[in-house]
Structure 1
Amino acid sequence: MSKSEIGLLGLGTMGAALALNIADKGFDIAVFNRTTQVTRDFAKDAGDLAQRITPTENLKDFVAAIATPRTIILMVPAGDPVDQQIAALRPLLDDDDLIIDAGNANFHDTNRRAAEADGKPFLGIGVSGGEDGARHGPSIMGGGPRAAWDRVAHILTAIAAQHDGTACATWMGQDGAGHFVKAVHNGIEYADMQMIAEVYGVMRDGMGLDYTQISDVFEAWNNGPLASYLIEISHKVAGANDSLTGAPLLSVIRDAAGQKGTGRWTAIEAQHLAAPVPAIEAAVAARNISARTALRAQGQDIFGAAPVSLNGALDIDQLEQALIAGKILCYAQGFDMIARASDDFSWALPLPDIARVWRAGCIIRSVMLDDMATALAENPDENLMFSKRFAGDLRENHMALRQVVAQAALHGLPMPALSSGLAYFDAMRTARGTADMIQGQRDYFGRHGFMRLDRDGTDFHGPWAD
């Protein structure tokens, strides 16, 4: 009996979809899941693809079913489960067998696992696109030894999403580089989703549009500069009806957003890198606030509901323009963070390739990413908001963003991500800001010293130091 070219461990939603994708692209695959019945059900439901799938019911048989040198993809929850599976597999593997962690790992864990592999092949790859992407073509961000990536690249590029004939899968750099890029992807995703939710709130609460009208707005926007997966599905979500009651689906969903932690990791790591990502941080905070439903109800009881009706102060075109500006700013923050990490960790992260990998398959895929890839290729050291194309877009749209944020504030419509994006824009266009006051304060209470405009040096003090 011939052996499988690759193995996959973990047949949850993403793992099962990815295994079917691999089989569908013509590769024989061995599969294993800790719960045996899950493996049996998966093989039974695989249909015509079952002939390429070898189901196994213990780790020893699983390893034996894979051709050497072996390649094994782990699709298990991040954290201890990954370490446990690696520890269980290692005694059964040869030194040249490759383990790939394709889950949502924290890149620091991936760095550690790469070091613990002690020269044995190990990759950490970010996979984005949800269940549908895993099944039909995700965006794949690889990290680890280049030789290990090259060894399995023919499979990963085959199963990845395709954009104009180019696979949305590439090697990002050593160790945890792939998982880092995936985390920033998810941070941008948080900010993009939050901004869309904020303009949805303006339409629903400030303009009094019904769900069908809101759905139609998103559908129209998806045929213009905002065309993207998230706008596309916002149209579908806003237009959906609840199967239990027949009411608009959004009207029966609690406004408490879940999260798996990747956006929070991005915000935390941004602080370590001194990379300003205020829109992402605001989006993470907004999800945390959304979960505190009882406190929000208490706040409304104490202070009263906000006077949300805009009375014609904004129109749909201004909302579209504001969202265009906000989207550019949150992507600019994300790519700036990636550039900082590239320097700090000596990864040489390929920014144009990252934009290209995100053009299809992933959650933040957008028509803007083509132009972002071009801008980053022309000047990878330049903040995206300063590139010729996007600087022009911001000049054209920032006044609408300003109006939307201002009217939202006046009418009590919370807008944390868009307002943070606007504050970032204004800070980044101000040559002389107000940090001189902060430096004066720091010197006053801590004698930290400051730099001067008229002299060289860093250790000047105010008169209080005497």
Structure 2
Amino acid sequence: METPQSFDVALVGLGVMGENLALNLHGHGFAVTGFDLEEHKRASFASRLGTEAPRSLQELVASLRAPRVLLLMVPAGAPVDAVLRDLRPLLHPGDVVIDGGNTRFTDTQRRIAELTGSGILYVGAGVSGGEEGALRGPSIMPGGDAQAWPVVRPLLQAIAARAEDDTPCCEWIGPGASGHFVKMVHNGIEYADMQTICEAYFLMQQLLGLQPREMSAVFAEWSRGELSSYLVDITADILSRTDPESGGALVDVIVDTAEQKGTGKWASQAALDLGVTAPTIADAVFARTVSAVRAERAAAAGVLAGPKLQFTGERAGFTEKIRRALLAAKICAYAQGFALLAAADREYSWDLAHGTIAGLWRAGCIIRARLLEDIRHAYARDAKLANLLVDPHFAGVMQDCQQALREVVATAALHGVPAPAFMSALAYYDSYRAPRLPANLLQAQRDYFGAHKYERLDRAGKFHTHWVD
């Protein structure tokens, strides 16, 4: 064990993510210590970093240089509260606690309020990149007490991924729970991104009869162009893998039930709370929930009728339409995510820099993609852009791709192939570009049964009609 007050940073929670972040920090020259309630995790940490792990939080805190910096990588919710409760009496004003877990932003808001007056600097940091990112360089989105940033910046930017221009994918997001909110939106976009890719795969399988290896080649080709991204890359890899037991495609033996950890749901709930239209993100969540009722779906398949049509189109031509539809749907999902960020900024006064956030997602994180460089440029052109769709570049891409999205959605509907994310992306696009919607009738209905009143086009004010004599 090194001498007291000799460590730069401590990890609390030595699971895979915590241990890999510790190794990343160690590899960048920082003196790292760590603690976990489970002895075998402490042993693994000690073995991999060549240092003994403390057996208590008291011992851990005592080994840190001032101001002490502790990075929590424990499960979100009650475990974070428990660690904070135990740590608080051990810390001094100026010490920094970073919550790097997938914490709900409302919990971060509450914890910041609870620490007010203590002098302890609290940071809610979104960390994206999974196990590999934690070890090799994640995207990091820190927010909270701005006094903490000069203290933690050298640590966090050193271990973060770097974009092609060598910019670290870690920058201060803003006050309050802004860091965890931005990470939540990242994950909401991630849900939509994954679902649209899955729908592209499913359409090629169900309508075109393509085999996994054929689709692997398609996705690999797509990733060399506008759709270049981590998720498209790994999809190509997944579809190329053979199951060693059956000899068939590995993807074909995986059960079609998707799990979730809640961040996509939180993003959808935040959109509802803030009055933001984010249907593609929400439908990606619902796609997972309907996948979970597998037994019900199997039973319903024998009861519910669907179309009997056989696809008769040309394979290569329709594959290209799916590519364009996927690009259009992805743009719509990003537009919804950034609209959610803008609404949160209006609500909480965080002063979010959308271009900076897009820059943080260019490397290290799960949604890293070529598209993000274009998004960064869009907000450089207009920092107050009302919606990503009206940026000249993206408006042009949507003009080029929207017909393909329509044809893919129509073909999926006519042939009974579920494509909820594609369908909601198209509805979002058409609703956003519509100069008039049927909400006038809806408002009249509300006034009819509830006297909620309505506004008129020809004069100001609120009006009520006595509909029933």
Does the alignment pair 1:464 with 2:446? no
Q: What's the offset of the Cα at 1:463?
A: 4.5
Does the alignment pair 1:170 with 2:171? yes
Q: What's the offset of the Cα at 1:184?
A: 0.4
| 1:211-360 equivalent positions in 2, closer than 5 A | 211-303=212-304, 307=308, 309-312=310-313, 315-360=318-363
Give the 3-state SS of the residue equivalent to 2:245 in structure 1: coil
Does the alignment pair 1:446 with 2:450? yes
Do the aligned partners of residues 414 and 308 (structure 1) sit closer, same or farther apart at CA in structure 2, a change above 3 Å counting? farther
CA distance in 2, matches of 1:310, 1:370: 37
Any conservation in 1 of the 2:34–2:45 contact (CA below 8 Å)? Answer: no
Any conservation in 2 of the 1:59–1:89 contact (CA below 8 Å)? Answer: yes
Match of 2:410 among 389, 398, 406: 406
CA distance in 1, matches of 2:384, 2:111: 31
Does the alignment pair 1:59 with 2:57? yes
Match of 2:105 among 104, 107, 111: 107
Give the 3-state SS of the residue equivalent to 1:235 in structure 2: helix
Match of 1:435 among 432, 439, 445: 439
CA distance in 1, matches of 2:144, 2:26: 24
Any conservation in 1 of the 2:307–2:414 contact (CA below 8 Å)? Answer: no
CA distance in 1, matches of 2:52, 2:361: 32
Once the two structures are superposed, residues 158-178 of structure 1 have per-residue CA deviations (whole angstroms, 9 ceiling, x without a partner) of 100001110000111112100
Any conservation in 2 of the 1:278–1:421 contact (CA below 8 Å)? Answer: yes
Q: Where does structure 1 differ by over 3 angstroms across 4 or more consecutive aligned residues?
A: 304-309
CA distance in 1, matches of 2:448, 2:422: 35
CA distance in 2, matches of 1:360, 1:72: 25
Do the aligned partners of residues 244 and 308 (structure 1) sit closer, same or farther apart at CA in structure 2, a change above 3 Å counting? farther
Identity %: 45
Give the 3-state SS of the residue equivalent to 1:243 in structure 2: coil
CA distance in 1, matches of 2:19, 2:82: 20
Any conservation in 2 of the 1:125–1:143 contact (CA below 8 Å)? Answer: yes
TM-score of the aligned structures, taking structure 1 as reference length: 0.96
Aligned to 1:13: 16
Match of 1:363 among 344, 362, 366: 366
Structure 1 residue ranges without an equivalent (≥5)? none
| 1:86-235 equivalent positions in 2, closer than 5 A | 86-119=84-117, 120-163=120-163, 164-235=165-236
Once the two structures are superposed, residues 197-218 of structure 1 have per-residue CA deviations (whole angstroms, 9 ceiling, x without a partner) of 0010011111100010010000
Aligned to 2:41: 38
Once the two structures are superposed, residues 75-123 of structure 1 have per-residue CA deviations (whole angstroms, 9 ceiling, x without a partner) of 0000000000111111222222111110000000000001111242111
Do the aligned partners of residues 388 and 243 (structure 1) sit closer, same or farther apart at CA in structure 2, a change above 3 Å counting? same
Does the alignment pair 1:84 with 2:57? no
Give the 3-state SS of the residue equivalent to 2:65 in structure 1: coil
CA distance in 2, matches of 1:213, 1:255: 20
Q: What's the offset of the Cα at 1:308?
A: 7.0
| Equivalent position amino acid for 1:38 in 2 | K
Q: What's the offset of the Cα at 1:307?
A: 4.1
Aligned to 1:385: 389
| Equivalent position amino acid for 1:455 in 2 | R
Give the 3-state SS of the residue equivalent to 1:172 in structure 2: coil
Any conservation in 2 of the 1:207–1:309 contact (CA below 8 Å)? Answer: no
| Equivalent position amino acid for 2:79 in 1 | P
CA distance in 1, matches of 2:456, 2:146: 47
Do the aligned partners of residues 208 and 7 (structure 1) sit closer, same or farther apart at CA in structure 2, a change above 3 Å counting? same
Q: What's the offset of the Cα at 1:465?
A: 7.0
CA distance in 2, matches of 1:265, 1:404: 29
Do the aligned partners of residues 305 and 359 (structure 1) sit closer, same or farther apart at CA in structure 2, a change above 3 Å counting? same
Q: What's the offset of the Cα at 1:149?
A: 1.7
CA distance in 1, matches of 2:308, 2:293: 22
CA distance in 2, matches of 1:149, 1:83: 22
| Equivalent position amino acid for 1:412 in 2 | G
Does the alignment pair 1:395 with 2:399? yes
Once the two structures are superposed, residues 189-246 of structure 1 have per-residue CA deviations (whole angstroms, 9 ceiling, x without a partner) of 0000000000100111111000100100000000000000000000011111123333
CA distance in 1, matches of 2:41, 2:10: 16
| Equivalent position amino acid for 1:128 in 2 | S
CA distance in 1, matches of 2:28, 2:291: 41
Match of 1:425 among 429, 443, 463: 429
Q: What's the offset of the Cα at 1:38?
A: 1.2
TM-score of the aligned structures, taking structure 2 as reference length: 0.96
Give the 3-state SS of the residue equivalent to 2:224 in structure 1: coil
| Equivalent position amino acid for 2:434 in 1 | T
Do the aligned partners of residues 6 and 251 (structure 1) sit closer, same or farther apart at CA in structure 2, a change above 3 Å counting? same
| Equivalent position amino acid for 1:152 in 2 | V
Any conservation in 2 of the 1:443–1:462 contact (CA below 8 Å)? Answer: yes
Any conservation in 2 of the 1:308–1:413 contact (CA below 8 Å)? Answer: no
Count of aligned positions: 460
| Equivalent position amino acid for 2:194 in 1 | M
Q: What's the offset of the Cα at 1:19?
A: 0.8
Any conservation in 1 of the 2:333–2:425 contact (CA below 8 Å)? Answer: yes
| Equivalent position amino acid for 1:122 in 2 | Y
Give the 3-state SS of the residue equivalent to 2:366 in structure 1: coil
CA distance in 2, matches of 1:243, 1:99: 46
Once the two structures are superposed, residues 276-334 of structure 1 have per-residue CA deviations (whole angstroms, 9 ceiling, x without a partner) of 00000100001000000011011101125664742226611101000110011000010
